[in-house]
């Protein structure tokens, strides 16, 4: 299968990423016409300036990577990222609350960021961190994300105990039932794995190995 460049969020989230690293990633994204460049909030303004007047979106992570901050903090972080030029937001849910079955907290968490994104017509992706969840918890997380009005559900941060699997992508795709898209991320480092995720139902892929995969 030929992989289209618009399937990819070109990602650089490591804590020691330098300004030069981010500039290089943006140049690669422009050259290959990737869907977005995904960065930590502190790099959003730089990325949005570098991608200005292009078709490549600026994506910021929120509540990353643990998802353990207050919904108020996540909403504010999303607002700051949008003001700096982000056009897509990837937020991490409150994983502990989900496992405690405190579903009202999880829903409030997602809706707080959704409301900020709705004001600016910003794409919202909800990271559920599948490696930490049971199948029932994955299904519930996807259902709440859809209820909250998210655009995507996303498998992983890439910073926990595991990344995307074809089984999880398929389960998430079936659960959202065309009411949201699915983004697979974490551990996608070669073309074979990327194709497996697409065949399982992923609509978008997040990876730092994007150039190697499409080359």
Radius of gyration of the chain from Cα atoms? 16
DSSP letter at 134?
Answer: -
- Residue by residue, DSSP assigns 1-45 as -PPPGGGEEEEE--TT--HHHHHHHHHHHHHHT-SEEEE-GGGHH
**What is the set of active-site residues?**
90, 154, 183
Question: From CA 187, how far away is CA 51, in angstroms rounded?
Answer: 26
Backbone angles phi, psi at 55, to 5 degrees: -90, -5
Segment holding 138, helix H or strand E = helix 135-148
Q: Is 57 helix (H, G, I), strand (E, B) or coil?
A: strand
Return the beta strands (E) in 93-175 as ranges: 123-127, 152-154
Neighbours of 52 (CB within 10 A): 10
């Amino acid at each position: 299968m030929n992989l289209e460049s618009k399937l990819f969020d070109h990602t650089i989230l490591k804590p020691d990423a330098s300004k030069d690293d981010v500039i290089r990633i943006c140049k690669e994204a422009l050259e290959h016409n990737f869907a977005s460049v995904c960065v930590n909030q502190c790099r959003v303004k730089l990325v949005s300036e570098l991608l200005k007047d292009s078709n490549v979106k600026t994506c910021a992570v929120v509540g990353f990577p643990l998802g353990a901050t207050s919904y108020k903090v996540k909403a504010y972080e999303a607002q700051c990222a949008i003001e700096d030029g982000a056009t897509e937001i990837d937020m991490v849910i409150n994983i502990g609350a989900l496992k405690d079955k405190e579903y009202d907290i999880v829903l409030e968490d997602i809706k707080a960021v959704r409301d900020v994104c709705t004001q600016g017509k910003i794409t919202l992706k909800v990271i559920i961190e599948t490696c930490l969840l049971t199948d029932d918890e994955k299904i519930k997380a996807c259902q709440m994300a859809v209820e909250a009005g998210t655009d995507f559900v996303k498998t992983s941060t890439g910073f926990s105990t595991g990344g995307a699997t074809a089984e999880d992508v398929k389960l998430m795709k079936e659960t959202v039932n065309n009411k949201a898209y699915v983004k697979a991320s974490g551990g996608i480092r070669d073309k074979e794995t990327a194709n497996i995720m697409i065949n399982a139902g992923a609509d978008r892929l997040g990876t730092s190995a994007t150039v190697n995969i499409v080359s």
